[in-house]
Amino acid sequence: MVGGRLTPMSVTSNLAGVGALALTALVLSGCVGDDGVGVEGEGTTETASTGVDESEGGSGSESAGESETEGEADIYDLLVAIPGMSAVERETDGDARFFELTYQVPIDHGDPGAGEFGITMTLIHRRKDAPMVLFTTGYHNYFYDIEVELSRLVGGNQLSLEKRFTGASKPDADWTKLNAAQVAADGHAVVEALKGIYGAPWLRTGGSLGGEDAVYHHYFYPEDFAGVVSYVAPFVLGLADDRFVDHFATAVDQGCQATLEELQARMLGEEREALIAELEQELELGEITRVGTYDRALQTLVLELPWNVWQSYGALACASLPAADDPELGPVELLGLLDQYVGVFGVTDARFETFDAYSYQAFTQLGRPAVPLAHLEGLVDPDYVDLETGAPPPGVPLPFDADFLPAIHSWVATEATDIVFIYGDLDPWSAGKIDASDNPSVASYHNPGGLHGTSMAQLSADDRAAIEAEIGEWLGADLGRLEPLGEGTRPALRVPR
């Protein structure tokens, strides 16, 4: 998945490959920031971890959010009083205050003496006594100032936490310090640091890979959250999980799937050499060293076609797909089809490098989905590169932990509490869901025609009501929301980009 399990829309101009688990932009919104990290400039109020604000207006201005009671410490002062925390407040014109935060966490939580690094996050602050929603993308913090669905539902604060080894949160350490336990410990450290300020219940959420990380955090630290809402999160078993092959044979329209497979066979059969020549016109050989050759790059793109159609397009694509035996369909048109639904630049080193952290985790702990290959016998190399897993950092050892995901499956199915899963049934990643039908404390909701961006707002009215009731129980309050949730939006925050 070079695309990994949730790729920012800003990474690619079309719903393309890298990032199969990708473009979920999830659930929560269609608009994303450019880089997930704010840039200081005009319109900001700059502050430092000393707590001294030398800019005009001061960090304690009441431009948005709660009005502090006389004598009560300002939220900025409370934040920077936390050891290891630094903060920059951005000017807002909405109903919240907005901060960029950096918090020092151990490189290795099992060996705190091994050093620290700064993990970055953004905070939408409304009131100290409102619920806090901790959100993760699974990658860098490209949601930045976007308020996600769960935060809008509960009217709370939101902390968007970047993942170690991504964005600006990169420790000076080898890749072995990237695993689910270390990531969860980062989140736990942040919760512990901020719970003294935000004493109301905390909720955890995320989509795709971020939804996985939400569950892993709950697994390691179940006392941190009153509940978890995990969107479109796959829990892959092993390095060739056949549940994903079964998905294409049972869960999607078989006529459309047959057309996609016939197109794949033509691309890697009679049109192979001509398509390779066309690909050479689009890419430089030096750009694709991780896949190695134009032939292998073509295999990667072709293998992605059905996956990305069902992940991101569904019936919209099926209605316009050409027949594989169309005599007017030549190599130019076929490569255009791949570029439209996959994106030919998904096989470049630069794209793969963007998802190094995810790819490393996929090959060492989080698993790799198998893809349908029977119809392509003899046409695909046994060691093919797929965009669902990506190409890991070159030369890095990749020992696979075969015990972690089975343990997660068992825990969710039998012991976990207070988790809501949301899936789109056409989305290939939904094949990675966990069967928790015998655990009354875990609930799964599905949109039968849903894709990888499935949200709570896309579920039936009854399902939405059930989820809201569950969240109300977590919070000990009636949510009291009368209007239906709309699409995800950026809050009214004026933030330089």
The pLDDT of residue 324: 96
Q: Is residue 129 part of a domain?
A: yes
247-288 pLDDT, tens digit per residue, is: 999 999 999 999 999 999 999 999 999 999 999 999 999 999
Identity at 490, one-letter amino acid code: R
Q: Is residue 249 part of a domain?
A: no
The pLDDT of residue 364: 98
Residue 446 belongs to domain spanning:
72-237+405-475
Q: Is residue 364 part of a domain?
A: no
Q: Please, what is the Cα angle at 272 between 270 and 277, to 5 degrees?
A: 130
Q: How confident is the model at residue 4 (pLDDT cuts 50, 70, 90)?
A: very low
Look at 481 and 57; give whichever has higher pLDDT: 481
Query: String of b and e for 445-460 (b: at least 16 CB within 10 Å)?
Result: bbbeebbbbbbbbbbe
Q: Report helix, strand or coil for 185.
A: helix
**Would the pLDDT of 319 be above 50?**
yes
Residue 153 CB neighbours (<10 A):
23
Residues 76, 70 contacting (CB under 8 angstroms): no
Mean pLDDT value across residues 422-426: 98
| Distance from C-alpha of 446 to C-alpha of 489, rounded to nearest angstrom | 23
43-52 pLDDT, tens digit per residue, is: 333 333 323 2
Mean pLDDT value across residues 166-174: 97
151-160 pLDDT, tens digit per residue, is: 999 999 999 9
Identity at 329, one-letter amino acid code: L
Query: pLDDT over 90 for what percent of the chain?
Result: 79
The number of domains in the chain is 1
Query: pLDDT over 70 for what percent of the chain?
Result: 82
Domain at 162, CATH number: 3.40.50.1820
Q: Is residue 372 part of a domain?
A: no
The pLDDT of residue 481: 52
The pLDDT of residue 71: 63
**Would the pLDDT of 26 be above 90?**
no
Question: What one-character DSSP code corresponds to residue 177?
Answer: G
Question: What one-character DSSP code corresponds to residue 491?
Answer: -
Q: Is residue 51 part of a domain?
A: no
Q: Is residue 228 part of a domain?
A: yes
For residue 280, what is the enclosing H or E element? helix 272-282
Q: Is residue 289 part of a domain?
A: no
- Mean pLDDT value across the chain: 86
Look at 482 and 163; give whichever has higher pLDDT: 163
Q: Is residue 464 part of a domain?
A: yes
> How big is the chain by its Cα radius of gyration, in Å?
23
